[in-house]
């Protein structure tokens, strides 16, 4: 994986460049794995691959509103989208190899998804709220993907484990970039981060389902997380601003 840095208006943002073909070659042979692990992994991937794909309609919505946002924010979101679409392609390949579902069928299912923005209206209100939402989502993903590597990815060999590892690293960089922009452009609002994080956590906890909006996608993983998952995520985020 090639690590990159981008200088946007004097603000340094972090990025990366890698591709799933470097990790899972065409000749890869799926190892024999316990049926319970195989079934659980297919179930997990059937959610994760599409929540990564949900990044595109979210970005397109924000792009249509780009006049509301700073150039630095839009540049960061462009790099973010590139990573998220790479994650979609990587997890799509993993899902295809593990489940046998064709890449075309996965794409068709992804394109047929209906995205409901109303549940996240409070979260995409302005640049600051979006950045806080990104921190919450990406920090939660760092924790959940790390667990997924141990629970599932590592049983399929180094290539699968490295996909999980690199996706996790990217999510950590997304969190860091969002925090950097808040400190650079919205330092006067840092005191608003904690109450907004608490509101995000409460809304997510009460969602009857994941509305396919990229944000709040951990609503579909509540059954897998510790009860204090969101509080631990919030604690890690706030530590960045102390």
pLDDT in tens, the chain (242 residues): 667 777 777 888 887 889 899 888 888 888 999 999 999 999 999 999 999 999 999 999 999 999 999 999 999 999 999 999 999 999 999 999 999 999 999 999 999 999 999 999 999 999 999 999 999 999 999 999 999 999 999 999 999 999 999 999 999 999 999 999 999 999 999 999 999 999 999 999 899 999 999 999 988 887 788 888 999 999 999 999 98
Instruction: Could you please state the CATH topology (level 3) that the domain comprising 33-239 is classified under.
Output: Ribonucleotide Reductase, subunit A (1.10.620)
Question: What pTM was estimated for this model as a whole?
Answer: 0.94
Which H or E run contains 232? Answer: helix 229-239
Report domain extents, the chain: 33-239
214: left (phi over 0), alpha (psi -120 to 50) or beta: left
CB atoms near residue 111 (< 10 Å): 9
| Rounded distance between C-alpha atoms, residue 130 and residue 73, angstroms | 10
């Amino acid at each position: 994986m090639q690590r990159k840095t981008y200088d946007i208006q004097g603000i340094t943002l972090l990025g990366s460049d890698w591709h799933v073909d470097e990790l899972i070659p065409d000749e890869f042979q799926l190892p024999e794995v316990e049926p319970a692990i195989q079934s659980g992994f297919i179930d997990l991937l059937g959610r994760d691959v599409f929540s990564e794909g949900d990044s595109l309609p979210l970005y397109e919505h924000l792009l249509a509103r780009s006049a509301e946002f700073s150039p630095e924010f839009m540049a960061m979101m462009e790099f973010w989208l590139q990573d998220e679409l790479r994650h979609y392609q990587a997890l799509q390949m993993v899902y295809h190899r593990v489940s046998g579902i064709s890449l075309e069928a996965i794409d068709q299912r992804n394109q047929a998804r209906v995205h409901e923005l109303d549940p996240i209206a409070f979260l995409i209100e302005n640049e600051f709220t979006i950045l806080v939402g990104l921190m919450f989502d990406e920090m939660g993903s760092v924790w959940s993907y790390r667990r997924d590597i141990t629970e599932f990815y590592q049983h399929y060999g180094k290539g699968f484990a490295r996909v999980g590892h690199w996706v996790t690293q990217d999510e950590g960089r997304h969190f860091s970039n969002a925090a950097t922009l808040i400190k650079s452009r919205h330092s006067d609002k840092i005191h608003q981060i904690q109450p907004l994080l608490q509101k995000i956590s409460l809304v997510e906890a009460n969602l009857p389902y994941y509305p396919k909006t990229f944000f709040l996608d951990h609503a579909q993983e509540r059954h897998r997380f510790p009860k204090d998952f969101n509080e631990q995520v919030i604690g890690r985020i706030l530590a960045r601003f102390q």
